[in-house]
Amino acid sequence: MNTLKRKMIFFVVGARPNFIKVAPLLRNLNDSKDFDFKLIHTGQHYDKMMSSVFFDDLNVNAPDYNLNIHGGSQNTQIAKIMLAFEEICSRDNPNYIFVFGDVNSTLAASITAKKMNIPLIHYEGGLRSFDREMPEEINRLMCDSVTDYFFCTEDSAINNLLNEGKNPDKIFLVGNLMIDSLFYQVNKSNSNTNEEDYAVLTMHRPSNVNDTKKLKKLVEILNEIAKSIKIIFPVHPRTKKAICSFELDDNIVMINPLGYNDFTELWINSKFVITDSGGIQEETTALKIPCLTIRDNTERPITVNQGSSTIVGSNRVKILSNVYDILNKKYKVSEVPKYWDGNSANRILKIMKSLKS
């Protein structure tokens, strides 16, 4: 272990949502007297618009290490990350390994941490979709099985962990780092409300994109929505490849993926968002923007129970009726969950100062 008085934290990121969540922690740690830190980017998202541009947009330095591991099967990716990450840990001896969410990079770093007896912190611990066909759900379950400290974004996550027999003294409700970054961006934004009415679409999950029958059904529904409102669609690379065989209405405007600042500016001025992203469910809840979630479940139930998200799956009636309600100002009014206030990074670092290991 690191013998210096200042403890070393390794933050491990691999995908767009991880970058957004780590940024508030890094900004708060720049003048820390208690911790040193290093940012490790596994390379899981490697396209410039999915990766490096986010560090610029979020005002954080480039990663200390970039493992440049991407492509291949999930198992191949996880194995390669584990080997490369083990080498860095052996060299630098971190006191804590801090992981985010549910991507392959998170699972790989978590297994490595425990094999090397390094205390593991999981931000977003305890979130569950209860759908084991989702690769992310397997990652969440496996990561939480070896986690030492759980930082949770909502009460449902705490209840899940307690039901799984986790030590309540190791579980902390800290709020939502995604919202820290969102408020940081909104506060420095100079944009005015867009006078044009439009909706924003994001779609990338294999359950939607890789299922040709379901994708065709969703495209037909989207074409119908586009008769009433323009839809702006920043296209994830996986989605672009899958959707090219379908004809989209002219009122659905496909654009290249956007950096964090530009994408935030886009959706905060929209009438509503259609998405299969977990993070966007949270961000829209924080700003009370209607969100139609084209999934059959969510690991973030607070965005539905308390927030502005509605689970609509690929159900034509549900989707179109909710769009009608939104356009006619009949959609439900949401609340902002506890601790989704822009101060989650401060809470996390205060807790970390008190940790014994």
What tens digit of pLDDT does each residue of 41-81 get? 998 765 555 456 667 788 888 899 999 998 789 999 999 99
Provide the pLDDT for residue 192: 62
Q: What percent of the chain has pLDDT over 90?
A: 78
Answer yes or no: is pLDDT of 135 > 60: yes
Provide the pLDDT for residue 58: 84
187-327 CATH choice from 1.20.1250.20, 3.30.499.10, 3.40.190.10, 3.40.50.2000: 3.40.50.2000
Segment 252-267, tens digit of pLDDT = 999 998 988 999 999 9
Provide the pLDDT for residue 332: 86
Same fold, 7-175+340-354 and 187-327: yes
Identify the active-site residue in 41, 70, 122, 204: 204
Rg over alpha carbons for the chain, rounded to the nearest Å, is 20
Q: How far is CA 247 from CA 22, 135, 256, in A?
A: 38, 29, 18
More confident residue, 169 or 45: 169
Place 160 in a pLDDT band, splitting at 50, 70 and 90: very high
Q: Where are the domains of the chain?
A: 7-175+340-354, 187-327
Answer yes or no: is pLDDT of 3 > 60: no
More confident residue, 118 or 196: 118
Total-model pTM: 0.90
Provide the pLDDT for residue 98: 98
Note the CATH architecture for domain 7-175+340-354: 3-Layer(aba) Sandwich (3.40)
Least trusted range by pLDDT, from 72-76, 139-143, 158-162, 235-239: 235-239
State yes or no: is 236 an active-site residue: no
Segment 276-301, tens digit of pLDDT = 999 999 999 999 999 999 999 999 99
